[in-house]
Structure 1
């Protein structure tokens, strides 16, 4: 086995996979902020909010805590406003293509009255 001596001794002493109290508390705060913002905040915004609260946490530390807790931000769907109001009292515009003046002609017929 290719394990470093320090990793072996950490494993033997039981401290190899122990998460520090600071990181455990930070993970809980990250999860709380993530849930409070309805899964819309990513690592950058959570780190900015933690720093605004006075907790020193970088983006990569927050990212690793999010990964550890299985948190992944979702992209909200785009708002598309309705463009058609069909409940109005106005009459629709006439279909000018059905007018007799605009009927298609044969290629041999002139385009206008002057004959050119």
Structure 2
């Protein structure tokens, strides 16, 4: 896993709003946990590619004949792929919490609730290009 950057979070009105260009530390940490090791990165690249293909295959987008609508369908398919991958990522993270109950589980679930799953998914899908 990659090391944490040597910069601090930016504070806005007393609340952490950004971490090194990411929404927050939790989002950055999740992205790097899923993509920081070669086996994990390969696994998530494959999942992201399958989801992208499902929603954004050229044949699916080409069903529309008008050029403007074609562009809109590309944007729509990217949004659907991002939503689907974000859900898969979140489910994977929450389903693999091995702590049954207690303070540690509560804190972990809270931290995962702060993750911007769409941002993680967007970065993964952009990595496919």
**TM-score band w.r.t. shorter chain:** 0.3 to 0.5
Bigger Rg, which one:
1
Could you tell me the TM-score, scaled by structure 2's length?
0.32
Task: Choose between structure 1 and 2: higher strand proportion.
Answer: 2
Give the alignment's TM-score, normalised by structure 1: 0.34
Q: Which has the higher helix share?
A: 2
